[in-house]
Amino acid sequence: MNIAVFASGRGTNFGAIIKAVKSGKLKVNLSLLVCDNPKAGAIARAKRAGIKIALVKRDDFTNKKDFQAKIIQHLEENKIDLVVLAGFMRLLTPEFVGRYAGRILNIHPALLPSFKGTESIKDAFDYGVKITGVTVHFVDEKIDHGPVILQKAVEIQEDDTTESLEKKIHKVEHRFYPEAIRLFAEGKLKLEGRKVKISSQQA
């Protein structure tokens, strides 16, 4: 199975996926990094790991449709079976999501549907909840909305700061995301409406 990781920033989840592939825990072909930011740390990670990079900058295109058409071209050329969003800071169009329906994963640092958006760790901390967490889900046309695959709770302790909470959440993410990809690659995820069933047997 060929997968493409989309990232715009440091790429820590991308790094965790690389590590899982190299260790043999995740048996997929990590074919491509799609990145819209030439300064992203994810690019350096891809270079070190020998992973092909598709740098597609939004500013090079007059509209979003052409921007995503170029990304689709890269995906088709590399015969991508699964798209893995790992801090990709561009919204995907409904047309893109429809084209890869059931084949796009995202990870979110909160227990969806709570604390959607890009500041979810800070939002949960500032709100004062005692438990937040991590969600891996399929992507649909709405933001942070698709069917949930896996969730893991993370407690917020009295002495936590936003920085310490972020570290705890990232630690869970780096273990959780490769696991969700493994389940998909082994045919163990079945979408039934908005519910995801996880099979113990390989499809």
Q: Which residues are catalytic?
A: 108
Partners of 106 in the β-ladder: 85, 137
Question: CA quadruple 65, 95, 144, 153: dihedral positive or negative?
Answer: negative
Q: What's the alpha-carbon Rg for the chain, to the nearest Å?
A: 17
Encoded amino acid at 146, one letter: G
**What number of other Cβ atoms are within 10 A of residue 147's Cβ?**
16
CB 51 within 8 A of CB 32: yes
The DSSP bridge partners found for residue 133 are: 153
